[in-house]
Amino acid sequence: MTTDGLDLLQGTLDVLVLRALAGKPQHGYAVARFIRESSDGTFRIIDGALYTALHRMEERGWVESEWGLSEKGKRAKFYRLTAAGRRALRSEAATWERYVAAVGKVLRAEPA
Amino acid sequence: MAESSWRRYLRFWRPNLEADVDDELRFHFDERTAALTATGLSIDEARRQAEREFGDVGAVRNGLREIDGRLHATRARANHWDQWRQDFTYSARSLRRVPGLSFTVILTLALGIGVNATLFSLLDRVFLRMPAGVSRPAELRRFYWIGTSVNNQAIAVPEFSIPVADGVADVLRGLAVTTVFRNDTRRLGDDREPSTVVTGVGPRYFSVLGVQPSFGRFFAPDEARYDVATPVAVVSQAFWSRRFGGSPADAIGQTIVLDKQRLTIIGVAPRHFTGTELDATDAWVPLGMTSAFATFGQAPAGRPAWYQSQTMYAFLLLARPVNASAAARLEAAATVGARRWFRNPRLQKNARVLTGPIIAARGPEGRQQEIAISVRLGGVALIVLFIACANVANLLLAHAMRRRREIAVRAAVGISRGGIVRLVLADSVLLALGAGIAAFLVASWSSVLLRRLLFPTIHWSTSAIDWRVVAFTLVATLVAGLGAGLLPALRSTRTDVSQVLKSGGREGSTQRSRARTFLVVAQAALSTVLLVGALLFVKSLRAVRALDLGYDAERLVFVSTQSHGERWGSGVTAGSGPLAELASRLAHVPGVEKVALTSMLPMYEIDLSKLFYANGDSLPPWTDGAPTVSGVSPEFFATTGLHLLRGRLLTPSDLRAGNVAVVNQTLARSSWPNDEPLGQCLRLGKSGPCATIVGIVEDARRVQLIERPVRQMYLALRDSGSYSPGGILVRVPPERAAAVEHEATRMVATLFPGVEANVRRMADVLAPQYRPWELGATLFTIFGLLALLVAAVGVFSTLSHEIGQRRHELGVRVALGATVADIIRLVLGEGLRVIVIGAAVGSLLALAAGRLIASLLYGVDPRDLSAFATVVAVLLVVAATAAVLPAWRASRTDPLEAIRAD
C-alpha cells in the first residue's frame, strides 16, 4: 500500500465493502485485503473507516455478523450480506457505473 | 438453536459488547502485521504501518462501540416483543388442541367478567357519574328535609313545597343561588307519541346549573314566574333529533304540544345536557306549564294555587353556594328558613334541612330498595368473579400439570424461569382476552336488561355501554387473566426437571393438588355464601307474598271516574248518584261477585283524620300518625274480605240512620285498652257528631305492605263531603279480573260520555311494592345459580384431571383386587370431602355476611338454619352429580393398560 494512493470519493467505500461481501461471509481484514488487492493498491484506504462502514451497515441491516474461525483457526467476526444488503449493492453499483460512464463520456466529448 | 441463542444471550452483555470490538480490531492488527512481516518488514515497522493504515484507533474504537450499543438496544427491544409474540402464537396453537378446556375457561371468565361489567355499568351511572353538561357539578347541593313521616320514621325527603323552598331561598340569599324543578313523565304531542320526561323549572334553573343554550335562549325571569303560565319550552338536542330530525337550530320558533297546549320552542339545550337526574329530560318548561300544575293552577275556590300550597311537597331544591365557607353554613341557615314556613307546629320546631351532593344516590335520602339491591349485587358479582377465577386457575393448573413434561424439556434446554412464567401466563392472558370479548357481548346485552329490570320507569340519559364500561371490562379482563394465571405460572417454575423427565410426567402423590384442593374449597365456600343469600331472598319474598293485608287484593278491581283531572261523580247522594248507578250495573256483569262503594280506595288513596272521645279528649298517641276514616257501603266488608271480629257490620239501614261506625282492632285496643269498645262513641272533630261503635274488624294496611298497625274507622257512606262515594270496589274471581276491567271501562264510556274511567286491579296497584322483593329474589337466585354452575364445573374438571393423573395408582388398586364400588367410593368420597369443607367455611362466611343484607329481608332471619341446611344439601347433590362421571370412568380403569402406560 503506497501512501500516495487516491483518496476514496465520498460514499464509495460502502459499495466496495458490499462488493467484497458479495461472495461468502468475510471478516473485516479479508474485506480490506480484497479491496486492496483487487484495486492493485490504487486507493488509499483508511482501515478504521472500513470497520466503521461495516458496523454502520450492520446497524442499517445490510450485513449480519457472526463470530467464527478464520482460515488459520483464530476467532474472528464474519460479515455476511443480507437480502437488503444485496439490493443495496445492486443499486449502488448501478449508480456508480452510470456515474463512471457519464464522467467518461464527458471526458471523451469534443468541446464545441 | 440452543447453541445460537446461548451465544446471543451472552453477546447482549455490555462488557462483551466492548470486548467484541477489541477482539475484532486485535484480529485485524494481528493479521495485517503478519502479512506485512511476510513482505520483509520488521515486526515493529509492520505494526507501525498497520496503525498508520488504520487511522485513529481510539476514535474508531469508540465509534464502533457506540454503533454496536445502539444496535444492541434496538435488537433487545425487538427481541423482547418477538418473544411475547412467539409465546402467544405458541399458546394459541396449544390451546386449540384443548378446545374443551379453552371453551370452559372462556365461558367461566366471560360470565364472571360479564356480570361485573353489567353491575359496573349500572353503579357507575347511579353513583359515580356527574350530570353531563353542568358546570362544576361538585359544587351543587341538593336539599332534603327531615320531619316525621306518616309512620313515625324519620326519613330525609327531597321534595319541598314552594313556600318552604322560597323561605329557604330567602335566607340563603348571599350564601347561595337556589332553584326548584320537578320531573314528570308526559306526552309531548298526541297520544301516539312515546312518553317523554318533561322538567318543570322554577326561576334561575339554568343559571344555577351553569348551562348556556346551544341555540335560542332560556327562560326570561318573567316566563319562569309561578303565577303565570307562559307557553314556551326548551328542548334537548337528543329529543329534537329523535322526534323531528334535522338541525337543532331549526327548532327555534317551532311548537310542540303538551297536554293540548301549544308551546313555542325558544331554546335548545347544549348537546349533552339532559338535566340532573337519572332520567334524561327531553324538554324544559316553566313550572306553571306542566300539566299537573296547570290543573292545580285552576284551583277550585277555597284551595290555594299550587305555588301557595303548603301541603304540596313536590319540588326538588338545588343550590350553588357562592364559596366553600358558604357551603358549610347552608344547612343551618336553610333549617331556620324552612321552619318559618312549615305549617305544622311540630315541624316548625323540629324540622331540619340537610344537603347532599347532586348525585342523588349519594345523598341522605333513605336509599331506594332497588339501589340497595344493586350495591349488594355488585358485591355478589365480585364473588362470582372470584369463583370464576378460582375455577380457571384450577383448570390452568391442571393444564400446566399436563404440560409438565414439555416445560421440563424446555427448562432442560436452558429456557429461563421468566420464560416459563411468560409461556404459562400467555395461556391465561390469551384465554382472558377471549373471555373479555365474550364478556363484553354478555354485558352489552345484560346491562340493558338489568336497567330495565331494576328501574323500569327511568328514561336513561346515557346508553348502558360506553367507553367507561369498555375500559372496566378491559381492566377486569387483564386482572382476571393475570390473577387466574399467576398461581399456575409460578408453580410451573418449580418443576424439578430430572424428576419429571424420569417419572414420565406423573405427579408425585404428596404434592398432589394441594393448591387445587384449596381452590375448590374456596369455590364451594363462596357458592355457599351466594346460595344462602339467594335462598334468604326467596324466603323473604315468600314471607312478603304471604302477608295478610286484610284485603283480598287478587280479587279486587278499583273503578273511579274523573273529568278534567278532577274526581267525577262523587259528592252526590250515596244511593242514587252516577257512581251508584255504575255500581249497580257492574253488579250484573258476569263473574262479578260483589260491588261496594267507598269514599277512599284502599291502599291507593289516603285519609288522615282527627278523632276524639265523646267528652272531647284526644285519643292517646299512637305510632301511626293520625287515624284513617273512610265512608263505605254495607257491602264493603264482604267485597274486600275484611273479617268481622266482634259486634256487627254496617247495614243498609245505617245509611239512613247515620251515626254508627265499625273500627279496626288497633283503634279499639289503643283507645279503650281496659274498657269494652263496642257501644262507645268517637267524634270527628272536637265538637263533631259522635259515631257509635257497633263492630270491630281485623286490621288492614293503609298504604304499605309493611307498616306498623294503623287505626282505621269505617262510617256509613254520607251523601256529601269527605265520606261520600268516591270509587267502586268490584270483587271478581282473579281469572275474570281482566274481562271485568275491560267491561267497566266500556261501561263508563257509554254511560257518561266525556268522562274518563280509571280502572285498575288492586294487585296492579300493589305490584310496585312487591317488585323490589321479587327483584332481590330473582337477581340473587340468578347469581347464585351461576356460581353453583361454575363451582360444579370446577369440581368436575378437578376430579376428571385427578383421575387422569392417578390412572397408574388406580390401576394398581384394581389389580390388587379393589372392586368397582371401592373405586367409586374412593373418588366420590374425595370429591365430596372437599365440598363439605367448602360448605362449612362458606356457612361461617354467610353467617358473618348476613347482616349486610338483613335490611333487605323481611320475615326471615339471616341465620335461618333451614336455608343453610338446604344450601349444603344442594351443594352436595350437585357436587356428587359432577363427581359421578369421573368416578365411573375411574372404576373402569384397565389395570394392565394403566400400569403399562409410560
Residues B229-283: tens digit of each pLDDT: 888 999 999 888 888 887 888 889 999 888 778 899 999 999 889 999 888 899 9
Res. B149: pLDDT tops 60: no
Res. B151: pLDDT tops 60: no
Interface contact flag, A74 B25, Cβ < 8 Å: no
- C-alpha dist (Å) from residue B312 to B75, B161, B292, B470: 76, 5, 12, 44
Question: What is the reported pLDDT for B595?
Answer: 95
- What H or E segment, with its residue span, contains residue B142? strand B141-146
Q: Does A56 touch chain B (CB under 8 A)?
A: yes
Query: Which residue carries 337466585 as its cell?
Result: B781
Res. B54: pLDDT tops 80: yes
* Helix locations, B276-323, DSSP H: 291-297
pLDDT band at B84 (very low <50, low <70, confident <90, very high): confident
pLDDT band at B366 (very low <50, low <70, confident <90, very high): low
Cβ neighbours of residue B361 closer than 8 Å, sequence gap 6 or more: B126, B127, B367, B371
Reduced to 3 states (helix: H, G, I; strand: E, B; else coil), residue B186 is: strand
Question: What is the reported pLDDT for B275?
Answer: 92
Cell reading at A22: 458479495
Chain A residues touching B74 at Cβ < 8 A: 59
Question: What is the reported pLDDT for B636?
Answer: 95
Chain A residues touching B60 at Cβ < 8 A: 48-49, 51-52
Partner residues linked to B288 by β-bridges: none
Across the range B463-479, mean pLDDT stands at 88
Across the range B372-385, mean pLDDT stands at 88
Chain B residues touching A27 at Cβ < 8 A: 24, 27
Between positions 37 and 66 of B, the ones with CB within 8 A of A are 50, 53-57, 59-60, 63-64
Question: What is the reported pLDDT for B632?
Answer: 93
Across the range A83-92, mean pLDDT stands at 92
Across the range B188-199, mean pLDDT stands at 80
Across the range B445-466, mean pLDDT stands at 83
- In-domain check, residue A100: yes
Residues B822-854: tens digit of each pLDDT: 888 888 888 888 889 999 999 999 999 888 888
CATH code for position A27? 1.10.10.10
**CA angle, residues B710, B716, B668, in degrees to nearest 5:** 35
Interface contact flag, A45 B59, Cβ < 8 Å: no
Q: In this prediction, what percent of chain B has a pLDDT beyond 70?
A: 90
Chain B residues touching A61 at Cβ < 8 A: none
Q: Does A79 touch chain B (CB under 8 A)?
A: no
First-last CA distance in chain B:
28
Interface contact flag, B24 A28, Cβ < 8 Å: yes
- In-domain check, residue A90: yes
- C-alpha dist (Å) from residue B693 to B514, B676, B684, B700: 76, 10, 13, 18
pLDDT band at B792 (very low <50, low <70, confident <90, very high): confident
Across the range B710-718, mean pLDDT stands at 91
Q: Does A59 touch chain B (CB under 8 A)?
A: yes
| Nearest CA distance, B27 vs chain A (angstrom) | 7
Across the range B432-440, mean pLDDT stands at 90
Query: Which residue carries 452483555 as its cell?
Result: B13
**Size of chain A in residues:** 112
| Nearest CA distance, B81 vs chain A (angstrom) | 19
Q: Does B32 touch chain A (CB under 8 A)?
A: yes
pLDDT band at A21 (very low <50, low <70, confident <90, very high): very high
pLDDT band at B889 (very low <50, low <70, confident <90, very high): confident
- In-domain check, residue A7: no
Across the range B516-540, mean pLDDT stands at 89
Reduced to 3 states (helix: H, G, I; strand: E, B; else coil), residue B297 is: helix
**Size of chain B in residues:** 902
Across the range B204-222, mean pLDDT stands at 93
- What H or E segment, with its residue span, contains residue B853? helix B820-854
From the list A27, A49, A70, the residue facing B55 with the nearest CB is: A49
Res. B81: pLDDT tops 70: yes
Res. A1: pLDDT tops 50: no
Cell reading at B516: 387445587
Chosen for mutation from A2, A13, A29 (greatest number of chain B CBs closer than 10 Å) is: A29
- In-domain check, residue A4: no
Q: Does A70 touch chain B (CB under 8 A)?
A: yes
Res. B347: pLDDT tops 70: yes
| Nearest CA distance, B411 vs chain A (angstrom) | 26
Residues B602-660: tens digit of each pLDDT: 988 877 788 899 888 888 888 777 889 999 999 999 999 999 999 999 998 888 776 89
- In-domain check, residue A3: no
DSSP letters along B22-85, please? HHHHHHHHHHHHHHHHHTT--HHHHHHHHHHHH--HHHHHHHHHHHHHHHHHHHHHHHHHHHHH
The answer to whether B256 and B265 have CB atoms below 8 angstroms apart is yes
Q: Does A85 touch chain B (CB under 8 A)?
A: no
Cβ neighbours of residue B735 closer than 8 Å, sequence gap 6 or more: none
Chain B residues touching A33 at Cβ < 8 A: 35
Q: Does B78 touch chain A (CB under 8 A)?
A: no
**Pairwise CA distance, residues B542 & B554, whole Å:** 16
Res. B150: pLDDT tops 90: no
pLDDT band at B142 (very low <50, low <70, confident <90, very high): very high
Q: Which of B518, B536, B538 is nearest to B528 (CA)?
A: B536
The answer to whether B25 and A29 have CB atoms below 8 angstroms apart is no
Chosen for mutation from B17, B22, B67, B70 (greatest number of chain A CBs closer than 10 Å) is: B67
Task: Flag the least confident range among B23-32, B100-109, B551-560, B667-676.
Answer: B100-109
Task: Flag the least confident range among A53-57, B445-449, B507-511.
Answer: B507-511
Chain B residues touching A47 at Cβ < 8 A: 28, 32, 50, 53-55
pLDDT band at B11 (very low <50, low <70, confident <90, very high): very low
Report the domain count for chain A: 1
Res. B413: pLDDT tops 80: no
Interface contact flag, B28 A52, Cβ < 8 Å: no
From the list A27, A29, A48, the residue facing B60 with the nearest CB is: A48
Question: What is the reported pLDDT for B499?
Answer: 63
- In-domain check, residue A26: yes
Cell reading at B502: 424420569
- In-domain check, residue A84: yes
Chain B residues touching A45 at Cβ < 8 A: 53
Res. A19: pLDDT tops 60: yes
Average per-residue pLDDT for chain B: 84
Interface contact flag, B27 A52, Cβ < 8 Å: no
Interface contact flag, A48 B24, Cβ < 8 Å: no
Report for B11-20, B461-470, B801-810: range of highest mean pLDDT: B461-470
- In-domain check, residue A2: no
Interface contact flag, A47 B55, Cβ < 8 Å: yes
Chain B residues touching A63 at Cβ < 8 A: none
Interface contact flag, B28 A47, Cβ < 8 Å: yes
Between positions 10 and 29 of A, the ones with CB within 8 A of B are 27-29
Task: Flag the least confident range among B120-129, B433-442, B798-807.
Answer: B798-807
Res. B436: pLDDT tops 70: yes
Across the range B90-111, mean pLDDT stands at 85
Interface contact flag, A74 B28, Cβ < 8 Å: no
| Nearest CA distance, A29 vs chain B (angstrom) | 5
CB–CB contacts below 8 A, A to B: 65
Across the range A32-44, mean pLDDT stands at 83
DSSP letters along A2-35, please? -TTPBPPPTTHHHHHHHHHTSSS-EEHHHHHHHH
The answer to whether B294 and B229 have CB atoms below 8 angstroms apart is yes
From the list A33, A52, A70, the residue facing B63 with the nearest CB is: A52
Residue A63: domain span = 12-108
| Nearest CA distance, A84 vs chain B (angstrom) | 17
| Nearest CA distance, A59 vs chain B (angstrom) | 6
Across the range B495-511, mean pLDDT stands at 54
Search chain B and give the residue with CA nearest A68: B24
Chain B residues touching A74 at Cβ < 8 A: 27, 30
Interface contact flag, B67 A55, Cβ < 8 Å: yes
**Pairwise CA distance, residues B540 & B773, whole Å:** 7
Residues A98-109: tens digit of each pLDDT: 988 999 999 988
Q: What is this model's ipTM?
A: 0.90
Query: Which residue carries 357458592 as its cell?
Result: B527
Res. A65: pLDDT tops 60: yes
Backbone angles phi, psi at A110, to 5 degrees: -90, 125
Report for B88-102, B359-373, B560-574: range of highest mean pLDDT: B88-102
pLDDT band at B567 (very low <50, low <70, confident <90, very high): low
Across the range A36-55, mean pLDDT stands at 85
Search chain A and give the residue with CA nearest B39: A1
Question: What is the reported pLDDT for A2?
Answer: 40
Residues B284-293: tens digit of each pLDDT: 999 888 755 5
Across the range B568-582, mean pLDDT stands at 68
Question: What is the reported pLDDT for B685?
Answer: 81
Res. B172: pLDDT tops 90: yes
Across the range B145-172, mean pLDDT stands at 80
Interface contact flag, A45 B53, Cβ < 8 Å: yes
The answer to whether A9 and A99 have CB atoms below 8 angstroms apart is no
